Amino acid sequence: MDKQQIDHMVSDKAKAAKSGMRTLSLVSSEVRNSALQAMASAIRDNRESILASNKIDMKNGLANRLADPLMKRLELDDKKIEIMADNLVQVAALPEPIGQIDSMWERPNGLRVGTVRVPIGVIGVIYESRPNVTVEVAALCIKSGNGVLLRGGSEAISSNTVIAEILQKSAKGFGLDQAIQFVNITDRQAVQSMIAKHELIDLIVPRGSNEFIRYIMKNSEIPVVGHADGVCHVFIDQNADLEMATEIAINSKTQYVAACNAMETLLVHQRVAQTFLPRIQVRLAQEGVELRGCQTSQSICPDMLAANSEDWSTEYLDKILSIRIVDDFDQAVDHINRYGSHHSDAIITNDYATAQKFLKVVDSAAVYVNSSTRFTDGYEFGLGAEVGISTQKLHCRGPMGLEGLTSYKYVIYGDGQIRQ
């Protein structure tokens, strides 16, 4: 397909999504929820075809020497498929997000003014590697009354195509198939076309590498919600339970190293460093994690590699961890706010006042006390799923669930008022 043909195809799919959005606005929440339940059943029933298509993508990924973090995100198994189906069920069970009256007040002239939650419109989601995004985004958009235009990466084209077809077929039984549109070509011109369709698409959500997301943010003619980096920290305070701290640090780093909410830098209070560092070094070595430390860290663990200034702001997405010993709480917070990406950061402490201060002064979308950073996820937060994670402060922040896919409009009730 040439440039013009691709542009026409994207326009047609965006128009279909807009038409589907209007249909969604006319059906009841019961119909939308039933459609989501049917999609969940279809995902489970078509498990084998999904896995077969994913094997094709994995084979191509190996042939093309796709980076290991991307291969991990690309791969599907029975557990991931069950989570995909469960996402649909969870979203169906969530409270109705649209039509809610947020507030209502009466003016001196008798007018009653209020705000009501409404869909944003057509959501364009451009993503790499992870086929489960196709399900998560479609579920949230159907529930919130938005049309969606999906464009996955070339590395997952087989998986995404099969999954999108399954979802559309299920939605068709309820007259909602137009609301889910999938761009099933890998030409990058499709991305260029999508981010220029400001008259048809209301919001762009990119998911993928730092370079990719920054490109979309810089070049889109449409508002963009997302995050470019996931430089997450865990700070071991002087009043931490060190056994708890060890388990949380291990989980934050190794449970899924390719995730954007995985820990990339470990900060340790100097008063517990002599005890804690040797302990965590042994555990991380067992997990095959390469450690890069500051000079003080190296003096405690001499076989640790030296960290440089770039390490503090690097999202490794790999079995690499930078470690810094800090003098006190303030130095830890300064480090997080300077080098972090405002994504997910945690403190491990038994001191209530210190924990509360950390929650107040760390400027991140998700701030934890005595918990792994790996929970920053729509599914884990009870949102059913997520369209993406935003580190921005306007409109939405953190995992973008149903509320993040709505806006509001004013509704005004009168009984004949005219302005004098």
User: Does position 387 have pLDDT exceeding 90, yes or no?
Assistant: no
Residue 67: which pLDDT band, with cuts at 50, 70 and 90? confident
User: Does position 312 have pLDDT exceeding 90, yes or no?
Assistant: yes
pLDDT at 156: 96
Q: Based on the domain organization, do 301 and 167 belong to the same domain?
A: no
Residues 7, 178: Cα–Cα separation, whole Å: 19
**What is the average pLDDT across 365-378?**
96
Distances (CA, A) of 345 to 257, 342, 363, 367: 15, 8, 9, 5
User: Does position 202 have pLDDT exceeding 80, yes or no?
Assistant: yes
Residue position matching structure tokens 């409109």: 395
Q: Is residue 56 part of a domain?
A: yes
Sign for the CA dihedral angle at 355, 357, 360, 362 comes to: negative
In this predicted model, which residue has the larger pLDDT, 385 or 407? 407
Q: Based on the domain organization, do 216 and 245 belong to the same domain?
A: no
pLDDT at 60: 97
Q: Give the CATH number, domain containing residue 273.
A: 3.40.309.10
**What is the three-class DSSP state of 321?**
strand
Residues 110, 349: Cα–Cα separation, whole Å: 54
Residue 182: which pLDDT band, with cuts at 50, 70 and 90? very high
Q: Domain span at residue 31? A: 3-100+126-225
Beta strands 232-236; 263-269: pairing state: parallel
Q: Is residue 113 part of a domain?
A: no
Residue 144: which pLDDT band, with cuts at 50, 70 and 90? very high
Considering only 211-225, 345-359, 387-401, which range has the smallest mean pLDDT? 387-401
Crossing angle for the helix pair 242-254 and 270-286, nearest 10 degrees?
50
Residue 309 neighbours by CB distance under 10 Å: 8
Number of domains composing the chain: 2
- Condensed to tens digits (0 to 9), the pLDDT of residues 268-305 reads 999 999 999 999 999 999 999 999 999 999 999 999 99
pLDDT at 229: 84
Q: Is residue 403 part of a domain?
A: no
**What is the three-class DSSP state of 289?**
coil
**What is the average pLDDT across 58-84?**
93
Q: Based on the domain organization, do 146 and 280 belong to the same domain?
A: no
Between the CA atoms of 405, 409, 413 and 414, what dihedral angle is there, to the nearest 10 degrees? -170
Q: Give the CATH number, domain containing residue 204.
A: 3.40.605.10
Report which secondary-structure segment, H or E, holds 353.
Answer: helix 352-361
Q: Based on the domain organization, do 196 and 273 belong to the same domain?
A: no
User: Does position 357 have pLDDT exceeding 80, yes or no?
Assistant: yes
pLDDT at 100: 87
Structure-block tokens of residue 310: 């770039």
Average pLDDT, the chain: 95
> What share of the chain in percent tops pLDDT 90?
87
Q: Based on the domain organization, do 288 and 357 belong to the same domain?
A: yes
Q: Based on the domain organization, do 178 and 62 belong to the same domain?
A: yes
Residue 211: which pLDDT band, with cuts at 50, 70 and 90? confident
What pTM value is reported for the model? 0.86
Distance of CA 195 to the CA centre of its chain: 19
pLDDT at 416: 97
Considering only 60-64, 67-71, 217-221, 249-253, which range has the smallest mean pLDDT? 67-71
Backbone dihedral region for residue 321 (phi beyond 0: left; psi -120 to 50: alpha; all else: beta): beta
Q: Based on the domain organization, do 79 and 165 belong to the same domain?
A: yes
Q: Is residue 408 part of a domain?
A: no
Q: Is residue 405 part of a domain?
A: no
Residue 34: which pLDDT band, with cuts at 50, 70 and 90? very high
pLDDT at 379: 82
Domain end (from 184, 206, 225): 225
pLDDT at 234: 98
Structure-block tokens of residue 105: 């007040």
**What is the average pLDDT across 130-157?**
96
User: Does position 241 have pLDDT exceeding 90, yes or no?
Assistant: yes
**What is the three-class DSSP state of 235?**
strand
pLDDT at 21: 96
Q: Which of 352, 355, 354 has its CA nearest to residue 369? A: 355
Residue 165 neighbours by CB distance under 10 Å: 16
Q: Is residue 108 part of a domain?
A: no
pLDDT at 383: 83
- Condensed to tens digits (0 to 9), the pLDDT of residues 98-135 reads 998 989 999 999 999 999 999 999 999 999 888 999 99
Q: Based on the domain organization, do 266 and 196 belong to the same domain?
A: no
pLDDT at 74: 94
Beta strands 406-413; 389-390: pairing state: unpaired
Residues 405, 205: Cα–Cα separation, whole Å: 11
pLDDT at 384: 75
> What share of the chain in percent tops pLDDT 70?
100
Q: Which residues pair with 320 in a beta bridge?
A: 290
What is the C-alpha R_g of the chain?
Answer: 23
User: Does position 392 have pLDDT exceeding 90, yes or no?
Assistant: no
213 and 205 in contact (C-beta within 8 Å)? no
Q: Based on the domain organization, do 291 and 172 belong to the same domain?
A: no
Residues 138, 40: Cα–Cα separation, whole Å: 12
Burial class (CB in 10 A: 0-12, 13-18, 19+), 391: buried
Burial class (CB in 10 A: 0-12, 13-18, 19+), 65: exposed
Q: Which of 409, 401, 412, 407 has its CA nearest to residue 94? A: 401
Considering only 167-176, 355-364, 372-381, 391-400, which range has the smallest mean pLDDT? 391-400
Q: Based on the domain organization, do 243 and 219 belong to the same domain?
A: no
Structure-block tokens of residue 229: 């980096």
**What is the average pLDDT across 167-184?**
97
Beta strands 112-119; 406-413: pairing state: antiparallel
